Amino acid sequence: MRELIIESLSKKYGDVRVLENLNLRYRSGTINGIIGKNGAGKSTLFNCIARNTPYRGKIERKNIESIGMLSANPYMFPRITGYEFIRFCLSAKNRRENRQKMLQLNRLFELPLDKYAENYSTGMLKKLHLLALFLQENDLLLLDEPFNGLDIQSSAYLSEILKQMKHSDSLILVSSHDISHLLRISGTLTTLENGSAYFRTESLSDIEKEFQREAEERVKNLFSIT
Ligand SMILES: Nc1ncnc2c1ncn2[C@@H]1O[C@H](COP(=O)(O)OP(=O)(O)OP(=O)(O)O)[C@@H](O)[C@H]1O
């Protein structure tokens, strides 16, 4: 079993405090969803876990040697083919190429792997990053907005792939604004709010209703003032 134990995690950018004394625990065998408003600190949390940025506190990564992270807006070299990018990602992690697995996965994503990345659409680029991450077989996967930009069918494939991966002892954290999608696949759901984090236990319909109610009230009030 792999485990991520976060204790007293705090993160500031200059004087701006983003995460304040977070205590969280995640295990493999389930998908862990993360939600929060824009700017709540989801990407920052992932960057701390991936050691991309300094932080205060302790993050214990039990049985986790390799970490794969999909950024919300990942960079891509323009003059590299999809296939070359995958090979580059595999060699960066010292992994052997499994051509059969690559072709099998790409039957779902349908990427033109022999074409330069500059010819890819936004969703295709995201799928290329995801494909490379899946082939790397990391112990911990941090996916920041993986559904953003994917078409409906690809989102469904991604959900099913993640559901399969949770059985292979990968520890998976997924941040998303697409709450219905996230709740359909997640075993745990964490909300980040005002620097703090807490686990949610309500049902999908209750959480959706809460957001809807708040939106209706605030917009109605706004329009009644103007
Ligand atoms: N490198 C940085 N330097 C300074 N401030 C930053 C930096 N990265 C993020 N921030 C700030 O930290 C806060 C949290 O940002 P973060 O990107 O983690 O939020 P998020 O929850 O991922 O947001 P979104 O849902 O919009 O992607 C924001 O106020 C943002 O402006």
The pLDDT profile of the chain, 226 residues, written as one tens digit per residue, is 999 999 999 999 999 999 999 999 999 998 999 999 999 999 999 999 999 999 999 999 999 999 999 998 888 988 999 999 999 999 999 999 999 999 999 999 999 999 999 999 999 999 999 999 999 999 999 999 999 999 999 999 999 999 988 888 899 999 999 888 888 899 899 999 999 998 877 776 788 788 888 889 989 888 886 6
In whole angstroms, what is the distance from residue 108 CA to residue 119 CA? 19
What's residue 206's pLDDT? 81
- For residue 223, count other CB atoms closer than 10 A to its CB: 8
Ligand 1 mutation target, pool 17, 18, 176, 177, most atoms within 8 A of CB: 18
In whole angstroms, what is the distance from residue 136 CA to residue 215 CA? 41
In whole angstroms, what is the distance from residue 92 CA to residue 67 CA? 12
Are 81 and 114 within 8 A, CB to CB? yes
Q: Distance from the CA of 195 to the center of ligand 1, in angstroms?
A: 11
Residue type at position 64: I
Tell me the pairing of strands 31-36 and 140-144. Answer: unpaired
Are 161 and 150 within 8 A, CB to CB? no
In whole angstroms, what is the distance from residue 134 CA to residue 68 CA? 9
Are 25 and 1 within 8 A, CB to CB? no
Residue showing tokens 């990345």: 117
SS3 state of residue 60: strand
Ligand 1 mutation target, pool 9, 34, 42, most atoms within 8 A of CB: 42
Beta sheet of 16-27, edge-to-edge order: 16-27, 3-13, 56-62
